[in-house]
Chains A and B, each alone.
Chain A
């Protein structure tokens, strides 16, 4: 024992243990997110629980936990309770329910149970009773689902047309009207209160109102066509009529085979990636958040890469090395350590209120006091993140420049090339992979950063995307949605955290995959680069 102590091996093992614990934590975290995230879209069986007090609960089994009982004498077997998702928020008041296992008399897979995803009020779990159109019953209990399923595609198409009109046509109308009003206001500001111009604008607004009324008519027409409803009975003897227009999808998880489940999973994944969110972001897809993140990151890369590279070339190739450059280098390095929220504060104080406010005063004076650029938006968020990540690009590019053997530059210069030609034709191609590494690292950092965005233009629900079919197509002043903020907002600001949790896990998984993949790409790129220059430097 003493010998062992003196050899120092226990300490070595202790240090190894610390490393093992760190690694374990990483794997645990990633494993936790992957395990919880991947399982969420898998259809779960619906169970029926008969309770001792005669109640009947139908729902999905979510988790099981031990009931803490501080007063129980030691040694008593632990009691457990289960969490059941009973859905039907409108009937029961809450989606989730804890049941003591001791109270359960019988438990079985509920044959024939139907789960409905609704546009409002969350899911519904029950048993089909009839399918009806208005007062007429079209199908009884056996064929009700069949009938509803047959009619659903038509209803979905109608729904798509309605939301298309609401979003595109009516959206365009209100934009045109807003524009006309602004022009009126601008004329008024210049003292023009009457005259042909004003008349024309008034006429235009009048005309837009007429069109608007026509669209409204069309909408109510379409809505009237969305008939049909499904009558279901829920546990507890209640009955509910769900109109087909409220239904996103109907499924019977208990009756699904393996392929049915895989198919269901695939459709849910597709919905997650490509659909708009529903129900305060806790259901549906996250397409706007993905899109917003991508646009923001692209804008940021367009800004940060040339700037960072220029600064790096200046520092390494053009500036005289000395106290100034090393001071700047220290400053740049440290800037990478300045808290991201400080950059956000800079974005608010300088970009939004000063630059944005000035732009508003000069170009959008008619819209004031409603700010156009003088409030958070995707442009300001991108510039803020570009500033935040510029040290990453500078450091990576400089590192690359330092690794290029001086002989390469000297060779080009000796052959009569000017400094610019050397830089452009010899140094730049050689340093390209380093620049790329820096850019990828910057993108990875930007994709995961949330704090500065919270104050410079991210919102929980953006009415329109930053790029769309409206002139000028790219709307730099618009607020946008972001994956990281989505996680914070849905997980911590939503009123029903239990119902939101699955969504947060999946979003987290997606963000994690993006960030880790980008980092792995940067690491492998860098490693390859190092090997290459080790060879060529010889």
Chain B
């Protein structure tokens, strides 16, 4: 086995690895040669497998990016699932009026006609609870538990506010015990007649508790207590009582609710109307009447935050309402926001979430619906096997719900319900949020208060991304394509060899550098010369034309300095001149035509505010990043057009320009298209420039004088603050998925076009 080395390759071989020219193996005998060969083959096999497995793994792991992002996004769109757990029987003692459970779903408190009881949710065994002194009365009604407080209407005309609490304690072994507690506040004699309180509502307002009680078929007693704490810590309590009589056509009072700040009392009537009584006036008085449907209202209640009113009627209809302020007349109006999926029977029970705008409603036949207030969607419909459902409780963590029937049967459900607020509508459509004048596209992921609702519409961010991309391409495409055309068709080849590396350097500039210059240098600069920037679009070609005319008249000795193919030497100073000229004229135009201050003019005439960090600045900075990409690819495809085509055109008498535009350009057009697409992909995902050169406000306009907030910058800013697994976190992953899919599709299309073009050129050649 001797090795004769091919002389053609030996030089390359030596040059490549001069230190170790191959030595022929010099085995002592054929036996060892055979084992050597076997081990060589084994090694070869081994490496072959390793490379194969390794290569496929690496390529696979690249594609894993998509999988991971999909995996994080997927739970957002998983539909909600409920699992019924075995029903429990609790000792019956009259119809249950209200139900509350603790956050670990271990204990429940049931308000019944004969009193209050606590039960374990494991086995329905009774749990110890403080005794409640009702002084011989029974419980006639209970308000909806709200913020841990439930108000009881007693049979002797009193109202008893009750604090409900669950405390968790941990034993040494780490076992958790939940202890339910109740604490009664001083009772309030409401009905002097000592008649039972049939219907009441109660809220702890900012100044003190407000109670509203039905004291006649269509009359209402409102008790407002104001508590003032003196300097010595004594509480002075003042009480005002007002009776409000509904108008004759309203019918009997059937439901009551007070909003979170105790500003209004809402009265549901048998005529299907809601009457709003304004408490902010000196004396409470009826402010407006809104019609829900023709059927008697059976339920009024508020979602967390106390601003969205939910109404249900005997027809089973469930709707949500906001109080919308009319700025012009300074009045407020009940406005219907959503209608949810109806029940088949009168709405009997209601339980809002304490975490989000979700809520349960149920009819007495055991149909339980879970709705989401903001999106207007009904997420879940369950049927419970009872015909006398009387109270509902949504677990505080949102991971379960409980229904209790008149007979004392308790139905627990587990709920897999992590992102109830997300739907295609809330992610991409207009949503009517609380406190808004109408449906809007809004991105506002974090707020100052606890009951702040995240507004996660991606539309303003998508619009922002597209806006930035549009202005960047507007600036970059003409510049890059014209430059590429010149470089490939008209420029002297020796010059071309130095231009291309310069452009490659341009592509390598870190985007953080471009963003910094755009934000801290270009933006203030642009503010000074903006009219000049716009004028440059006209001044630039004009100046070049003028320069050309002068150049033709120039003496030959001068013209020899920049012959055909090297015009760029004349053009650089000419462009500088054009810019200086445009900015100069811009100042003149500003002082003579735009009233001396273009910003004022933009605001008054065009109706836009001018931001210093605006889309024009981003367009130029991002354009700067995109120009070299478009330039390189376009220049490649233009240069690679088979030269015999151009030669033919020139031989037939075409000018340089005619050949370039009518022959070369059409042939290379797919390549140019793919260049623009790849430029688009780069601009869509650009992060640092957008982050640094815009104000990052999510706006929904295409004004060049305003900034925007882009998907990419938004991810960079918000992802570190989003807790893992939260809705906000997953929506940010969705934003990343959008970017990934968009750029991947665009780039793949561009790549396929480019490959096809290359094959076409090969056919020509």
Most chain A CB inside 10 Å of its own CB: which residue of B9, B43, B502, B752: B9
Check B655 against A8 for contact (C-beta < 8 Å): yes
Decide if B504 is an interface residue (CB 8 Å cutoff).
yes
Decide if B532 is an interface residue (CB 8 Å cutoff).
no
A346 / chain B contacts, CB cutoff of 8 Å = 65, 68-69, 736
**Among listed B118-126, B177-185, B333-341, B538-546, interface-contacting one:** B538-546
Decide if B83 is an interface residue (CB 8 Å cutoff).
no
Decide if A94 is an interface residue (CB 8 Å cutoff).
no
Given A341-B716, A508-B516, residue A17 in contact with residue B575 (CB < 8 A): yes
A93 / chain B contacts, CB cutoff of 8 Å = none
Minimum CB–CB distance from A388 to chain B (whole Å) comes to: 10
Check A331 against B692 for contact (C-beta < 8 Å): no
Check B516 against A519 for contact (C-beta < 8 Å): no
What is the bound-complex CA distance between A4 and B519, given in angstroms? Answer: 43
Name which residue of chain A comes closest to B487, CB basis: A19
Check B712 against A339 for contact (C-beta < 8 Å): yes
Option from A317, A332, A515 in Cβ contact (under 8 Å) with B509: A515
Name which residue of chain B comes closest to A418, CB basis: B44
**Among listed B47-55, B233-241, B411-419, B641-649, interface-contacting one:** B47-55
Decide if B707 is an interface residue (CB 8 Å cutoff).
no
Given A12-B567, A339-B686, residue A501 in contact with residue B520 (CB < 8 A): yes
Closest A-B pairs by Cβ, 3 of them: A339-B685, A8-B657, A314-B55
B517 / chain A contacts, CB cutoff of 8 Å = 29, 32-33, 508
Check B44 against A419 for contact (C-beta < 8 Å): yes
Decide if B763 is an interface residue (CB 8 Å cutoff).
no
Check A314 against B51 for contact (C-beta < 8 Å): yes
Within 8 A of B (CB), among A346-367: 346, 348-350, 353-354
Decide if B4 is an interface residue (CB 8 Å cutoff).
yes
What is the bound-complex CA distance between A360 and B167, given in angstroms? Answer: 31
A328 / chain B contacts, CB cutoff of 8 Å = 59
Name which residue of chain A comes closest to B62, CB basis: A335
**Among listed A242-250, A263-271, A425-433, A464-472, interface-contacting one:** A425-433
B567 / chain A contacts, CB cutoff of 8 Å = 12-13, 16
Decide if B261 is an interface residue (CB 8 Å cutoff).
no
What is the bound-complex CA distance between A317 and B48, given in angstroms? Answer: 10
A82 / chain B contacts, CB cutoff of 8 Å = none
Tell me the number of A-to-B contacts counted with CB atoms below 8 Å.
347
B26-48, CB under 8 A of A: which get 1 and which 0? 00000000000000110110011
Given A18-B478, A21-B575, A536-B11, residue A314 in contact with residue B54 (CB < 8 A): yes
A479-506, CB under 8 A of B: which get 1 and which 0? 0000011011001100001000100100
Given A33-B517, A420-B48, residue A430 in contact with residue B509 (CB < 8 A): no
Check B52 against A318 for contact (C-beta < 8 Å): yes
On B, residues with C-beta under 8 Å from A are 1, 3-6, 8-9, 11-13, 16-17, 20, 22, 40-41, 43-44, 47-48, 51-52, 54-56, 58-59, 61-65, 68-69, 71-72, 478-483, 485-487, 490-491, 499, 501-506, 508-517, 519-521, 528, 540-541, 544-545, 547-549, 552, 567-568, 571-572, 574-576, 578, 591-592, 595-597, 600, 624, 627, 631, 655-658, 661, 678, 681-682, 684-688, 691-692, 712, 715-716, 719-720, 724, 732-733, 736, 739-740, 743-744, 746-748, 751-752, 755
Minimum CB–CB distance from B203 to chain A (whole Å) comes to: 37
A440-472, CB under 8 A of B: which get 1 and which 0? 000011011111001100000000000000000
Given A4-B549, A311-B55, A337-B681, residue A349 in contact with residue B69 (CB < 8 A): yes
Check B720 against A341 for contact (C-beta < 8 Å): no
Option from B68, B504, B688 in Cβ contact (under 8 Å) with A488: B688
Name which residue of chain A comes closest to B735, CB basis: A345
What is the bound-complex CA distance between A449 and B513, given in angstroms? Answer: 10
Check A345 against B732 for contact (C-beta < 8 Å): yes
Given A488-B692, A491-B516, residue A25 in contact with residue B685 (CB < 8 A): no
Check B516 against A488 for contact (C-beta < 8 Å): yes
B657 / chain A contacts, CB cutoff of 8 Å = 7-9, 11-12
Beyond the given pairs A8-B658, A13-B544, 8 more chain A to chain B contacts, judged by CB atoms under 8 angstroms and listed by A's residue number, are A19-B571, A24-B576, A318-B48, A339-B740, A341-B685, A342-B65, A418-B44, A451-B687
Check B3 against A416 for contact (C-beta < 8 Å): yes
Within 8 A of B (CB), among A492-538: 492, 497, 501, 504, 508, 511-512, 515-516, 519-520, 523, 536
What is the bound-complex CA distance between A69 and B503, given in angstroms? Answer: 41
Decide if A74 is an interface residue (CB 8 Å cutoff).
yes
B1 / chain A contacts, CB cutoff of 8 Å = 416
Check A310 against B55 for contact (C-beta < 8 Å): yes
Given A331-B62, A515-B509, residue A418 in contact with residue B685 (CB < 8 A): no
Given A15-B490, A418-B41, A516-B508, residue A349 in contact with residue B692 (CB < 8 A): no
Check B682 against A449 for contact (C-beta < 8 Å): no
What is the bound-complex CA distance between A255 and B117, given in angstroms? Answer: 89
A29 / chain B contacts, CB cutoff of 8 Å = 509, 514, 517, 624
Check A488 against B508 for contact (C-beta < 8 Å): no
Option from A408, A425, A511, A536 in Cβ contact (under 8 Å) with B22: A425
Check B510 against A450 for contact (C-beta < 8 Å): yes
Check B52 against A314 for contact (C-beta < 8 Å): yes
Minimum CB–CB distance from A10 to chain B (whole Å) comes to: 6
A408-426, CB under 8 A of B: which get 1 and which 0? 1001101110111101011
What is the bound-complex CA distance between A311 and B727, given in angstroms? Answer: 37
Check A515 against B510 for contact (C-beta < 8 Å): yes
Decide if A338 is an interface residue (CB 8 Å cutoff).
yes
A325-338, CB under 8 A of B: which get 1 and which 0? 01010111111011
On A, residues with C-beta under 8 Å from B are 1, 4, 6-26, 29, 32-33, 68-72, 74, 307-308, 310-311, 313-315, 317-319, 326, 328, 330-335, 337-346, 348-350, 353-354, 376, 387, 390-391, 405, 407-408, 411-412, 414-416, 418-421, 423, 425-426, 429-430, 432, 444-445, 447-451, 454-455, 484-485, 487-488, 491-492, 497, 501, 504, 508, 511-512, 515-516, 519-520, 523, 536
Given A22-B480, A23-B572, A408-B12, residue A448 in contact with residue B508 (CB < 8 A): yes
Given A16-B486, A330-B752, residue A492 in contact with residue B519 (CB < 8 A): yes
Check B510 against A448 for contact (C-beta < 8 Å): yes
B58 / chain A contacts, CB cutoff of 8 Å = 307-308, 310-311, 314, 390
Check B571 against A20 for contact (C-beta < 8 Å): yes
Check B513 against A33 for contact (C-beta < 8 Å): yes
What is the bound-complex CA distance between A411 and B740, given in angstroms? Answer: 44
What is the bound-complex CA distance between A511 and B545, given in angstroms? Answer: 40
Check B541 against A14 for contact (C-beta < 8 Å): yes
Check A344 against B682 for contact (C-beta < 8 Å): no
Name which residue of chain B comes closest to A345, CB basis: B736
Check A334 against B748 for contact (C-beta < 8 Å): yes
Option from A326, A331, A345, A423 in Cβ contact (under 8 Å) with B719: A345
What is the bound-complex CA distance between A450 and B510, given in angstroms? Answer: 9
* A-B pairs with beta carbons under 8 Å apart, 10 shown: A1-B549, A8-B656, A13-B567, A15-B482, A20-B568, A20-B575, A307-B58, A492-B692, A511-B510, A519-B508
Check A71 against B596 for contact (C-beta < 8 Å): yes
Check B544 against A487 for contact (C-beta < 8 Å): no
B712 / chain A contacts, CB cutoff of 8 Å = 339, 341, 451
B44 / chain A contacts, CB cutoff of 8 Å = 418-421
Check B17 against A429 for contact (C-beta < 8 Å): yes
Check B9 against A407 for contact (C-beta < 8 Å): yes
Minimum CB–CB distance from B52 to chain A (whole Å) comes to: 6
A9 / chain B contacts, CB cutoff of 8 Å = 548, 657
A341 / chain B contacts, CB cutoff of 8 Å = 685, 687, 712, 715-716, 736, 739
Name which residue of chain A comes closest to B693, CB basis: A492
Name which residue of chain A comes closest to B46, CB basis: A420
Name which residue of chain A comes closest to B6, CB basis: A411
A420 / chain B contacts, CB cutoff of 8 Å = 43-44, 47-48
Name which residue of chain B comes closest to A317, CB basis: B51
Given A23-B572, A310-B51, A349-B69, residue A449 in contact with residue B40 (CB < 8 A): no
Check A519 against B504 for contact (C-beta < 8 Å): yes
What is the bound-complex CA distance between A340 and B516, given in angstroms? Answer: 18
